[in-house]
Structure 1
Amino acid sequence: MPGGWAETDSNGSLVPTPELRQLFEYYLSALGEETLPQLVARIEQALARLQEPARSEALATLENYLDYKLALGELEASYGYAATLDAHQIQQRMAEIRALRRNWMDAPTAEAFFASDEAIDQFQVEQLRIRTDQSLSEMEREQALTRAEEALPPAVREARRETRKFTDYQQARTELANDPQALSAWRKERFGEEAARQLEEEEARQRAWEVKWQAYSAELAELERLGIAGPEREAAIDALREDYFEGAEKLRAEALDSLR
C-alpha cells in the first residue's frame, strides 16, 4: 500500500499529494476481482485513519476522483478509433482531459494528482512535433529534443536518465558479448564500482539459474513423456524440483511451471 498520503496542514486540513491518488489507484486496480462498491469501501476504511476535517475532505476528493474517472471514460469513448494523430490533435485531446480534471477537482488537487503525468504527456507531444518537423536538421532536432527533456520536472528527468542507462547497458551487453573485460570496464565507468559489482553478481546468479532451469526443463519433459498422471505426477515433479532448486528458486520454478 502506498505511504505518505495522510498529509495535513497546521489546521488539520487535507494536503492533496500524488501519494493520495496512488492510494486510490492501489485499490481501484483490483476492479474485476472485486466490485467497485467493495473497493470504494476499502478506500474509505483506509481514509478513516484521518482526523477531521481531513477525513471528510479526503472522502470528498475520492468522490470527485471517481466522478472524474467516469467522465474520462465517456470522453475517451467519444473520440472513437484513430489510427494516427498528429501533434496538434494530441495536444487538443490533452487540453480537454486537463480541463476535465480541473472541472471535477480543485486546482491544488489536480496539480498534485496529475502534474507529473501532464508534464510527461506534453514532453511526448513535443517529441513527436520535433521528430516530424522536416525543417530541422539532425543537429537542430537533437538540440530541440534535449531542450524539451530539460523542461521536465527534475524527478521525471532523473528517472528517464536512469532508465536510459540500462537501455544503453543492454546495447553494450550485445556489442561486448565476446569481450567480458571491456564489458566490465563499461559497467564500472557507467554505474560506479559498487553498482557494477552488484550488477555483475546478479548476472552471474541469473546465468546459474538459466543453466539449472534448462537442465530441469529437459528432465521435466522426459518425465511428462512417461505419461504419469494424478498425484504420482505431482509428487514426481515436486521431487524433481527439490533436486534442482531450494528456497525462493523453488517458488520461482513452481510459478514458471504454472505458466507452461
Structure 2
Amino acid sequence: MNRNPTIVIALGAAGMLWLAALAGRSAPPAPSAQVVTVAPAAQPFAPSLQGTRPDGAVRVAPDDSVVADAQLIELFDYYLSTVGEKSPAAVRAEIERELDRTLRPPAAAAAKRVLARYIAYRQALAALETDAKLSGPDAAALKRRLAALHGLRAQYFSQREIAAIFGREDAANADALARMEIRDDHTLTAQQKRERLAALDASLPAAVRAAREAPLKIVRVQEEAERLRASGAGDDDVFRLRADAFGADAAGRLAAVDREEAEWKRRIDTYLAARRGLQGEAAVAALRSRMFSVDEQRRLAAYE
C-alpha cells in the first residue's frame, strides 16, 4: 500500500488493485542496518486498514539512529493515508505509539524526528501543489514544478535522504520531462521524435523499464485470463498463466482478489433481485442495511 505523494505520476483504481496484489519490496538494505517491521495491531487503527499489514520498515543502525529512506516513508504513509477517517493529530499519535511499541527508545525518538520533518514537508507540499504559477500542461511548467519540488525537499531533508526517499520518483519525473520535451519540440519530425523516444526507452535501467511495462503486462495477462475463461478454462489454467507471468505468490494473491470480487458481485446480484420486489425507500434502506456494512453501502450507488 504505497501512498507516497507524487507530483507527476498517478495510477487508476484498477491498476492500483493489481499492483497492490503484485507489490514487491525494495532491494535488501546493507547488512549493517537492522530491518524492523511493524506487526499488525490487534485492532486496526482505522476501518480502511482492516485486513492489511503495515507497509515499509525501519532500518536501525547499530548506534540506534534510523535511516530515512523509502521504506520508512512507506511506513509513515500507511498510517497517514487514514487522515480523514482520523484527525491528523490522532494519526501522528498512532504512528508514534507504534514506533514506541516496536523500537528501542533511542531509535523510536530518532524515527519520530524524521516523522516530524516528513509531516511538515507534506503540509508544505500541499501548499506548493495549489500554486497557480506552477500549473500548466507543457514541459516548461513541469520544469517549474520540479524545481520548486526539489527546493522544498531541500528544506526538510539532506541530499542523501532525498536520494534514498525520492530517488525512484525523481528518476520517473526526469524521464517524463525528457519525453515531454521531445513531444513539444516542433523542430523535430515525427520520425525523429520516435527515434529519440526509443533511445530514452533503451537507456532506462532494467528496473525502471520493468516498472513502466508492468501496467501493460497486467492488462495483457488479464485479457488473456478472460479469454481463457471464455473458452471454458478453469481457475487452475488462469493460475498457471499468472504464475508464469508474475510468480506463484502473486498468482495466489490475484486469485484471492478474483474470489473477493466474485463474492461481491454475487451479493450485489442477490441484493438487486430482492430490491425489485420491495415498495418504498424505507424497505430498500432496511434491506441495504441488513446486507451491507456502512462502508460497503458507499459502493452500491454505481450498481443501483
**TM superposition score normalised by structure 2:** 0.60
Query: Which stretches in structure 2 are left out of the alignment for 5+ residues?
Result: 1-52, 233-237
Note the C-alpha offset of 1:212.
5.8
Contact 1:116 1:153 in 2 (8 A): no
- What CA distance in whole angstroms lies between the structure 2 residues aligned with 1:98 and 1:232? 51
1:107 aligns with 2:142: no
Q: Deviations over 1:78-111 (max 9, x none)?
A: 33584x3321221122012112112211122222
Structure 1 segment 16-27 matched on structure 2, within 5 A: 16-27=68-79
Which structure features the higher share of helix residues?
1
1:57 aligns with 2:110: yes
Match of 1:219 among 273, 279, 284: 273
Q: Deviations over 1:98-135 (max 9, x none)?
A: 12112211122222221111111222222211222233
Q: What is the Cα-based RMSD across aligned positions, in Å?
A: 4.4
Matched residue type, 1:116: R
- CA, structure 1 residues 216+37, in 2 after alignment: closer, same or farther (shift >3 Å)? closer
Note the C-alpha offset of 1:136.
3.0
| Structure number with higher relative contact order (C-alpha < 8 Å, ≥ 6 residues apart) | 2
Contact 2:275 2:287 in 1 (8 A): no
Matched positions, count: 238
- What CA distance in whole angstroms lies between the structure 2 residues aligned with 1:27 and 1:211? 30
Give 1:15's aligned residue.
67
- What CA distance in whole angstroms lies between the structure 2 residues aligned with 1:96 and 1:168? 37
Q: Tell me the SS of whatever aligns to 2:58.
A: coil
Matched residue type, 2:88: L
Contact 2:66 2:111 in 1 (8 A): yes
- CA, structure 1 residues 93+232, in 2 after alignment: closer, same or farther (shift >3 Å)? closer
1:140 aligns with 2:174: no
**TM superposition score normalised by structure 1:** 0.68
- CA, structure 1 residues 45+228, in 2 after alignment: closer, same or farther (shift >3 Å)? closer
Note the C-alpha offset of 1:27.
1.5
- What CA distance in whole angstroms lies between the structure 2 residues aligned with 1:116 and 1:147? 20
Give 2:175's aligned residue.
123
- CA, structure 1 residues 46+157, in 2 after alignment: closer, same or farther (shift >3 Å)? farther
Give 2:82's aligned residue.
30
Note the C-alpha offset of 1:222.
2.8
Computing the radius of gyration from Cα coordinates, the structure with the larger value is 1
Matched residue type, 1:50: L
Contact 2:143 2:177 in 1 (8 A): yes
Taking only the aligned residue pairs, the percentage that are identical comes to: 24
Give 2:137's aligned residue.
85
Matched residue type, 2:153: R
Q: Deviations over 1:176-196 (max 9, x none)?
A: 89x959xxxxx9xx9786879
